[in-house]
Structure 1
Amino acid sequence: MPEGHTLFALARDLHEAFAGTTPEVTSPQGKFAEGAALLNGHDLLRATSRGKHLFVEFADDRWLHVHLGLIGSFTVDSHEWTAEVPAVGQVRLRLRTDQHIADLRGPTLCEVATPEKIDGVLARLGPDPLRPDSDPDAAWARISRSSRPIGELLMDQAVLAGIGNVYRSEVLFRHRLSPFTEGRLLRRASWRLIWDDLERLLPLGVATGRIVTVEEQVLEVEAALGRGGVPHLTERSSSVYRRAGMPCPACGSKVRTRVVAGRNLFWCGLCQRRR
């Protein structure tokens, strides 16, 4: 499932391509024809994200609300479109101007919503480390009262928006924290280490389009961005994610795995004993 950095970059691309325009909105697949008709002919004002949710605001209090789910994709292509462009695959929604086409395929959720419904969705989501208006104390208030393990809480979008299985496994390893520590037993300082690290890592995912968590690559990407360059990573590496049975890069013991919050959690049983 796309994690928060993917939706943040998508919202940025959609905003840059369509904000201030009146795109043609269609549903080549036909499943969203009624919703597309409600948006067609209305100015597109802005595109934003919160966690794994995408919000596109149109004039006259109309919002497009999208959740990509496990297999969804939303592509934005730039070109001089002068003729009809055939839809490739099952395109649920298409936005089109003379310069851009954006095609949505396979989302879990695609709906036209009122401002009140969007406010309700936002109220149910935890803070997003990519958004400057987010408050880490809002997440801490939930974590510090919970008997659930931190490895589960980090996946709860009502606690923290945008974090998925990869960031969950990797950030806990980076700070040598046991994923099975109950939230109420986690130190506040440990929580701030997690939050501050996510604030550091997620923008690197936005910049590269890849999840960057291994410190050597983190430093490489930060250096490239500091020089004004565009970092390019040929492959994604991880310390523990999807490395079950392989040696831990820090201590050499075998990386373990267990299903937590419906997904395979990966951790080092020797390194990650700190609670």
Structure 2
Amino acid sequence: MPEGHSVHRLAQQFSSVFVGERLAVSSPQGRFSAGAAQLDGATLLSALAHGKQMFLRFDNDRVLRVHLGLYGAWSFGGDATFRGASSIGAPRRVGETEQASDEGEPGGTASFSGPPAPVGAVRVRLVSAHGWADLRGPTACEVISPAEEKAARAKLGPDPLQAGSDGSVFVRKLTSSVTPVGIQLMNQSVVAGIGNVYRAEVLFLQGINPWRPGRQVREDEAAAIWTDTVRLMRDGVREGRIVTTTAEARNGRPKRSAPHYVYKRTGEPCRRCGTPILTGEMAARNVYWCPRCQAE
């Protein structure tokens, strides 16, 4: 499932290429025809990411709420003014990168006569004068009111990537519960945007066992989790992928060859102490940790 940094990259891309544009909105698949009709011909005012959800706000007081979930993805295309990624989300084809061209370079063709024929089950298609975006396979895709957007966001915890997010809210929630910290970090009402990768990597960096109850996490430790999460997720927005290791930990290898400390490294030696990495099931998801660096 795309984690918060990917959704923020999506919001940035929509802001760059669609905000201020009058959009033709359709549902080639047909499952979202009623929702598309509410948005067709409206102008996109803003794109906001909150955790793993994105809210596209239109000038007719309607909001498109999208949660990609496990299988959702956006694909993009357009003319030479249309910049950014060719696709963001999961899954992507083997070998396909998120970035369509070199950073900052135009990603489209010299002219735009319209989008290509839909490929696969396209739930929503947005078309401007310069490009298009197709959404496939989302967990949630609905048109809501601004009041409903406010209510949906009120259920979410603070987003480490939003300017002005209050980390003290996260600290208070985490340290006041007996629920293991590894479960709480995946709870979007505690903190919005963290997924399985960031959970594993942040807890390793802080030397905290994922099974430790929240009430046994000191406030300064919880604050450090928040600070590391902000740093790593900002890196993720910039890089377009999650890389948590330092150059020293990679021993000169490229980022792609050794991006993580513990995530999906079961049985491999810890990059710090050499102890084999463990994995276990936590709330129906795999969790990874070093039993020495993250002792109880």
With the length of structure 1 as denominator, give the TM-score of the two structures: 0.91
Match of 2:261 in 1: 239
Cα distance in 2, alignment partners of residues 139 and 177 from structure 1? 16
Are the aligned partners of 1:155 and 1:261 in contact in 2 as well (CA < 8 Å)? no
Cα distance in 1, alignment partners of residues 11 and 194 from structure 2? 17
Equivalent AA in structure 1 for residue 10 of structure 2: L
Are the aligned partners of 2:115 and 2:132 in contact in 1 as well (CA < 8 Å)? no
Equivalent AA in structure 2 for residue 126 of structure 1: G
Equivalent AA in structure 2 for residue 264 of structure 1: N
Q: How does 1:221-240 map to 2 (within 5 A)?
A: 233-235=255-257, 237-240=259-262
Match of 2:214 in 1: 183
Equivalent AA in structure 2 for residue 166 of structure 1: V
Cα distance in 2, alignment partners of residues 8 and 45 from structure 1? 16
Q: How does 1:14-163 map to 2 (within 5 A)?
A: 14-79=14-79, 80-83=111-114, 85-163=116-194
Q: 1:161 to 1:84 in 2, by over 3 A?
A: closer
- Corresponding residue SS for 2:7: helix
Cα distance in 1, alignment partners of residues 232 and 76 from structure 2? 24
Q: How does 1:191-230 map to 2 (within 5 A)?
A: 191-216=222-247
Cα distance in 1, alignment partners of residues 178 and 17 from structure 2? 45
Equivalent AA in structure 1 for residue 71 of structure 2: I
Q: 1:178 to 1:233 in 2, by over 3 A?
A: closer
- Per-residue Cα deviation, 1:76-120 (whole angstroms, up to 9, x for no partner): 323232145201111100110121111101000000001111111
Are the aligned partners of 2:245 and 2:258 in contact in 1 as well (CA < 8 Å)? no
Deviation for aligned residue 1:233: 4.9
**Identical aligned pairs, as a percentage?**
43
- Corresponding residue SS for 2:281: strand
Match of 2:102 in 1: none
Deviation for aligned residue 1:21: 0.8
Where in structure 2 are there 5+ consecutive unaligned residues?
Answer: 80-110
Please report the RMSD computed on the Cα atoms of aligned residues, expressed in angstroms: 1.7
Q: Which moved more, 1:2-11 or 1:210-219?
A: 210-219
Cα distance in 2, alignment partners of residues 17 and 233 from structure 1? 29
Deviation for aligned residue 1:207: 1.1
Q: 1:235 to 1:32 in 2, by over 3 A?
A: farther
Cα distance in 2, alignment partners of residues 84 and 91 from structure 1? 13
With the length of structure 2 as denominator, give the TM-score of the two structures: 0.85
Equivalent AA in structure 2 for residue 33 of structure 1: S
Cα distance in 2, alignment partners of residues 72 and 218 from structure 1? 33
Equivalent AA in structure 2 for residue 245 of structure 1: G
Are the aligned partners of 1:73 and 1:104 in contact in 2 as well (CA < 8 Å)? yes
Cα distance in 2, alignment partners of residues 102 and 192 from structure 1? 38
Are the aligned partners of 2:243 and 2:255 in contact in 1 as well (CA < 8 Å)? no
Equivalent AA in structure 2 for residue 259 of structure 1: E
Are the aligned partners of 1:61 and 1:114 in contact in 2 as well (CA < 8 Å)? yes
Are the aligned partners of 1:210 and 1:236 in contact in 2 as well (CA < 8 Å)? no
Deviation for aligned residue 1:64: 0.1
Equivalent AA in structure 1 for residue 46 of structure 2: R
Are the aligned partners of 1:128 and 1:160 in contact in 2 as well (CA < 8 Å)? yes
Where in structure 1 are there 5+ consecutive unaligned residues?
Answer: 220-231
